Amino acid sequence: MQLKNDLLLRAARGEKVERTPVWLMRQAGRILPEYREVRASVSGFIELAKTPALAAEVTLQPVDILGVDAAIIFSDILVIPEAMGLPYEMVEKRGPYFPKTIASIEEVKKLRIASPEEDLNYVLEAIKITKKELDGRVPLIGFAGCPWTIFCYMIEGSGSKTFSKARKMLYREPEMARVLLDKITQSTIDYLKAQIAAGADIVQIFDSWAGILPPEQYNTFSLSYIQQICDAIDEVPVTVFAKGAFFARSEMAKLNCETIGLDWNMKIGESRQMIGEDKTLQGNLDPCALYGSSKEVASATRNMLDQFGNSRHIANLGHGVYPDIDPKMVKVFVETVKDYSTKLRA
């Protein structure tokens, strides 16, 4: 189907745009009272994610309410470990928890390569419903975690400040780490391809824990797997967001992807220089800037847009929007991008 608003896709491919497209990482299911209402009607996050009609409903909310230029499918990066045989729970106010974790090569061998049609059909169904209900208004973003970030959760079993168990494995059992990363990578490629077949117009991979690795280990244990994913996906544009990977920006320039996400620590001009003109950059306002007044939010947003100038850019925050941010301030961000970038690109 022809999209009525394809700004995001054109910006990703480096084509001409009348204004800069804008969306927010974690826009679905964090800040809207309308989300909380739907969420309260079920037992928890997992039931919501596994009920395609409801997942589609909360995916559409930010498009309707905030006016963003893309929808991102409501799900989580942790559906992949579950589909490989390692189920997770979402503990209220605390985050993900894996009752079983991976500690030996025997356990790695017991994991299966995820079969999206069998194990993740609920996500594919949610994508199909969302596409129908979007009716071409904006593109739909599919996503997955990067193998390294998924590996962290599978070894550690929950969030962690240091992920030292996961990192210990890179030193003590590098071979086992490689076998596990390979399995996650294969599962992720199949999963992203299935999301695209179901209707995703663009895909993003989230490497939330990129920043905890030293540069050389990052190349070996994360970037090389990201590269395999980028090389395998040629159906739609690919975005790579590696939080904290400032040290890997020149390497990332060589990835076979259209867009690189920047976090808010990364200087915009310097990033453009390191990554070059042939990629779109996405980001990177500090999520905390949205705690300011409307005037301050608008001014911080204009300042960000000025720094990206007329180059290939998708406006976003430097990480996911925080749960207690006022949706009104998100609207100020979105509307400022729309108005100001129209002038900037005229």
Q: Which active-site residues does the annotation give?
A: 26, 30, 39, 76, 153
- Contact range with ligand CP3 by CB under 6 A, out of 89-97, 108-116, 222-230, 325-333: 89-97
Q: How far is the CB of 28 from ligand CP3 (least distance, A)?
A: 3
CA distance 318 to 340: 19
Q: How far is the CB of 264 from ligand CP3 (least distance, A)?
A: 13
Q: Which of residues 108-167 bind ligand CP3 (CB under 6 A)?
A: 143, 159
Q: How far is the CB of 187 from ligand CP3 (least distance, A)?
A: 16
Alpha carbon 36 to its chain centroid, in Å, reads 21
CA distance 266 to 307: 12
Q: How far is the CB of 185 from ligand CP3 (least distance, A)?
A: 17
Going by C-beta distance under 8 Å and a sequence separation of 6 or more, which residues neighbour residue 240?
Answer: 146, 204, 205, 207, 226, 230, 252, 255, 257, 259, 260, 261
- The length of the chain in residues reads 346
23 touches ligand CP3 (CB under 6 A): no
78 touches ligand CP3 (CB under 6 A): yes
Pick the closer one to ligand CP3 by CB: 45 or 340: 45
Pick the closer one to ligand CP3 by CB: 70 or 111: 70
Compute φ and ψ for 16, nearest 5 degrees.
Answer: -70, 140
Of positions 9, 22, 25, 233, contacts ligand CP3 by CB under 6 A:
25
**104-108, long-range: CB < 8 A, 24+ apart:** 104/176, 105/173, 105/175, 105/176, 105/179, 108/176, 108/179, 108/180, 108/183
- Angle at which helix 52-66 crosses helix 327-344, to 10 degrees, equals 60
Q: How far is the CB of 143 from ligand CP3 (least distance, A)?
A: 5
**Residue 343 near residue 40 (C-beta atoms within 8 A):** no
Q: Which of residues 37-66 bind ligand CP3 (CB under 6 A)?
A: 39, 45
What type of residue is 316?
N
Question: Hey, which residues does 205 pair with through a beta bridge?
Answer: 144, 240
CA distance 266 to 243: 10
Question: Hey, which residues does 285 pair with through a beta bridge?
Answer: 317
Pick the closer one to ligand CP3 by CB: 58 or 298: 58
Of positions 13, 26, 178, 345, contacts ligand CP3 by CB under 6 A:
26
Strands (E), the chain: 71-72, 89-91, 95-97, 140-145, 202-207, 238-242, 259-261, 280-285, 313-317
What type of residue is 171?
Y
285 touches ligand CP3 (CB under 6 A): no
- Contact range with ligand CP3 by CB under 6 A, out of 72-80, 116-124, 282-290, 297-305: 72-80
∠ at Cα 97 (92, 98), nearest 5°? 150
Of positions 54, 56, 63, 77, contacts ligand CP3 by CB under 6 A:
77
Looking up tokens 């076979």 gives 256
29 touches ligand CP3 (CB under 6 A): yes
Of positions 320, 325, 333, 338, contacts ligand CP3 by CB under 6 A:
320
Pick the closer one to ligand CP3 by CB: 78 or 166: 78
Q: How far is the CB of 289 from ligand CP3 (least distance, A)?
A: 17
Of positions 67, 95, 211, 292, contacts ligand CP3 by CB under 6 A:
95
Residues contributing to the site for ligand CP3 (CB under 6 A): 25-30, 39, 45, 72, 74-78, 90, 95-96, 143, 159, 206, 208, 243, 320
